[in-house]
Chain A
Amino acid sequence: MSHRVIVVGGGLAGLAASVRIAEAGVPVDLFSLVPVKRSHSVCAQGGINACNEVARQQGYSEYEHFDETIYGGDYLADQHPVLEMANWAPRIIDLLDRMGVPFNRTSEGYRDLRLFGGSLFKRTHFAGATTGQQLIYALDEQARRYEAEGKITKYEYWEFLGPVFADDAGGGRRCVGVVGQDLRTMQVRAFRGDAVVMATGGNGLVFGKSTNSIICTGAAAARCFKAGVAYGNPEMIQVHPTAIPGADKLRLMSESARGEGGRVWVPRTKNDARRASEIPEAERFYFLEEKYPAYGNIVPRDIATREIFDICVNQGLGVGGGNSVYLDLTHKDPEYLTRKLGGILDIYEKFVGVDPRREPMQIFPAVHYSMGGLHTTFVKGRYNPGEPLSKHVSGSAPPLGSEVGLGMSYGDPGNMVTNVAGLYAFGEVNFAYHGANRLGANALLSCIFDGLFCGLSVVNYMKNGAPSKTPHGQVGASVYESARSAEQSKYEALLGAASRGEADEKTNPYVIHRELGAEMTAACTVVKSEGRLRECLSRIGDFKERMARVRVPDAAGWSNQSLCFARAVGDMLSVAEAVCLGSIERKESRGAHYRTDFPERDDANFMKTTVARWDATGQRVTVEFAPVDGSLVRPTARTYGKKEAGAGQPKPAMSGV
């Protein structure tokens, strides 16, 4: 009986995993909500970090990349996996290069590099302003090649409804397949597999509108969570300070607009109805310049985010009473702006329909990335210094090389597997690598690294683990049938409710989602406090109660998008609750998590991973804390924002373009 692997999600992580596993000779069934080439990875613009020969000769090293990532993540990430990822990064760039990614080039034909937040060295590789798109295309092409050879079978426009678990000989549970639904025919079907890789990305839609694609609901992760998979650091949500508010989504506006002299302001008078150009200088509130005379508009990202949020949400001073502030470049020469910022100004003009050279842009922070995700384990590699070293001095010689297996044990089945054997989590849906805050241009890296490095772990699990004794073909049919029929019943119940009359505001899934997003954004993102979080937790309880009575506005048994959306909203509530409860229990401030009532980092009590679990009996989330692997480098205060006060150019503390 031959083995098969199921990969759920066809973004960078899912494609990298599929290619790696198929290459090892194991057939892959690849499930995706959309044709894989349209996955959210296409949205990443900035680049992908890796040590490179130029930076190396200037004093940079894989070890410094590791150190930056740990420091940027405010010491919440387990350290061994991050070391292995940084060590692998140059190999990943070489591989992508061989696949034909059109990386920008120097005049001599080498790969060009750019400076990015969180580093003093140029270590970010890029392909125009669409690096994520170019990387996923390269992997999509390799996956298509394997598809043509019959090694990868794609199930596009299929939705993952839940994992299938079977009792293991050892008394535990292991994952032996998935239940999916064809989004066209609405057929619900169980699929057999010896291992399942979740590579389903982030959960921006829990916050209503975000910089994420419309498919990033987090529902797939939520379905695993509700099936008993632990969730790590749910409260760690990265918010980008400057996004373009849109009626449908929030699009990124690069930080360079402020770097080039952009001034952030709101009218001093609430709900001032005048156009920006009609408001005289004296009636404008340049709140960043007034509060931070040294930094002005170029305060670090997390501070900018908090201040803009405070002005709009707490003080109600946003433009037109809404959630936006002006980012004003109109005092600059239009030709200069075009030369320096042409690309990003064009994006603004394309989607807003306003020329930012003539009218101030309107921007607002936006939920951007989830550092948290399904909780996974790892097996330490060979490097164990005994005592953690002190923080790496930038540019100094690294304490070790970059050979394979120093950070994580290569090929060990215990890498990036959840608490259920055979169920792996790769990419953004995996909680590992980024700690409390992700550095810009590290996301693409972690996705591909998971797929390539841990793909071998999946293969070895099948060769040597439970599937080697009991392959999926020997698992009883009843296991699959009961999982399938449970999902079929849920589907039919939603469909049945659709034909029982109209939804009102209380039972309309679109209205519930809008209210959930507004509540989560207000309580669980930029500024958090116990009281507000408790209120949010109670609102989530209300949403749960309303979802139980939800009325889908479409009773069709064919391509019923409203039904799928309503089902996703129901599942998202469990993740929302984990985000909220994790935020309540973490009584400190660290990275992206800022508590007004606990403004300092507290390593003694909270240099720990938040582990959330779903209590199926009580239908609620519970949270506990687990130790972090801090055995390689000792924590120091994360102060680079403040240190550079005199230099005038603070290093961004939150990077994520």
Chain B
Amino acid sequence: MLNFTPAAGAGSGAGGGSGAGGGNRARAVPGRTIRVRVKRCEGPGKASRWEVFAVKAEAGSNVISVLQQIASNPVTVEGERTTPVVWDSGCLEEVCGACTMVINGRVRQSCSCLIDEYAPGEGDEITLEPMSKFPVVRDLWVDRSRLFHNLSRVKAWVPIDGTYNLGPGPRETPAQQETRYALSECMSCGCCLEACPQFTLEEDPKAWGTSFIGAHAISQARLFNEHATGRALKGERLEALMGPGGVSDCGNAQNCVKVCPKHIPLTESIAAIGRAVTIHAVARWFRG
């Protein structure tokens, strides 16, 4: 079941589901021409517009290769010459997080988005939009600085004494490693933020400190609280997550965990941090 309707605005990606299963691959018509509908914007403050391109689907093509094809000959279906589409990309293996965008209304990485799944038939259309929760730089490229800023808010690091040779780190059980590894696979792509109703566009960096921090940063706080040395900053992390924009701003929509490409247990992290914040607050109250 394909959903070709772009869902605009908050919460895009949640619930809609690409639903693109393996079945579509088999039905993909070789040599077909597909339509690629791209939301374009020349820069901050400029109005958006739609452009549609007809692209011949190559074997094994994905959204990246389609955008590359368009770049080498940027002509719309109306026959008008335009500019190559601007977008962010890196590894093309779904480990760097760069090429995240909203495809057919659902946020995901474009490198792992196969044309055979999304546009299997002659004339099928695929819709590309920038993420809506971050300021657009140009076309599909958005500025996700706030996402990284929020990692600083929760001190997402282990406070080591320096790079000197001080022997190994703390031992941990395979179970502990598995828990931390799953959390540590977060590639800061921002899918969880795009899908979150509580995380909204905020262009002013001065407001970032009090706006909802997002599932990714809450989960990273948990990751470092789970580490024997990282735990030293647990109190500071929880303080950061207690105030405005902290964990209590989560509306429990649970969209984050549905769209996470790495299947990180984000709602578990939110629940764990929520409990830890409560305990921390009570303990602080008793300490006076």
A-to-B contact residues, CB < 8 Å: 19-20, 23, 34-35, 37-40, 42-43, 91, 93-95, 97-100, 102-111, 127-128, 130, 133-134, 137-138, 141-142, 144-145, 147-148, 184, 213-215, 245-249, 251, 347, 350-355, 452, 502, 508, 510-511, 514, 553-556, 558-559, 561-562
Contact = CB atoms under 8 A, between A and B. Distances in A.
Contacts of B276: none
Interface stretch (B4-12, B109-117, B191-199, B201-209): B109-117
Contact of A554 (B68, B84, B94, B168): B84
Interface of B: 22, 25, 42-43, 58-62, 64-65, 68, 71-72, 74, 81, 83-84, 86, 88-98, 111-112, 114, 116-117, 137-138, 141, 143-144, 148, 151-152, 155-160, 162-163, 165-169, 171-174, 176-177, 180-181, 184-185, 187-188, 224, 227, 229-230
B92 A102 contact: no
Contact of A249 (B92, B172, B181): B92
A91 B165 CA distance: 6
Question: What are the 4 closest A-B residue pairs judged by CB atoms, nearest first?
Answer: A247-B65, A97-B169, A510-B72, A109-B171
A248 B61 CA distance: 7
Nearest to A88: B165
Contacts of B148: 35, 37, 144
A213 B83 contact: no
A145 B224 CA distance: 13
19 contacts: A19-B163, A39-B96, A100-B230, A105-B172, A105-B174, A106-B174, A107-B174, A127-B181, A144-B152, A145-B157, A145-B159, A184-B143, A247-B59, A249-B64, A347-B93, A353-B116, A553-B71, A553-B84, A559-B43
Given A98-B229, A102-B181, A353-B25, A562 B90 contact: no
Contact of A556 (B83, B112, B169): B83
A353 B117 contact: yes
Nearest to B184: A102
A214 B158 contact: no
A559 B90 contact: no
Nearest to B62: A248
Given A213-B91, A213-B96, A245-B60, A98 B168 contact: yes
Contacts of A214: 89-92
Residue among A39, A510, A555 with the highest chain B CB neighbour number at 10 A: A510
Given A38-B97, A103-B177, A351-B62, A133 B172 contact: no
B103 to A, nearest CB: 15
Contacts of A130: 95, 185
A133 B112 contact: no
Contacts of B61: 247-248
Contacts, number: 204
B173 A109 contact: yes
Contact of B173 (A42, A105, A556): A105
A52 to B, nearest CB: 10
A19 B81 CA distance: 47
Contacts of A559: 43, 86, 137-138, 141
A82 to B, nearest CB: 20
B171 A110 contact: yes
A502 B155 CA distance: 50
Contact of A102 (B111, B160, B180): B180
B157 A144 contact: yes
A573 B173 CA distance: 51
Given A102-B181, A248-B111, A562-B83, A94 B174 contact: no
A359 to B, nearest CB: 11
Nearest to A154: B148
Contacts of B168: 93-94, 97-98, 111
Given A353-B25, A353-B116, A141 B157 contact: yes
B239 to A, nearest CB: 15
A350 B93 CA distance: 10
A14 to B, nearest CB: 15
B98 A99 contact: no
Residue among B43, B71, B168 with the highest chain A CB neighbour number at 10 A: B168
A350 B71 contact: no
B96 A38 contact: yes
B163 A40 contact: no
Contact of B167 (A23, A40, A94): A94
Contact of B22 (A103, A110, A353): A353
Contacts of B167: 94
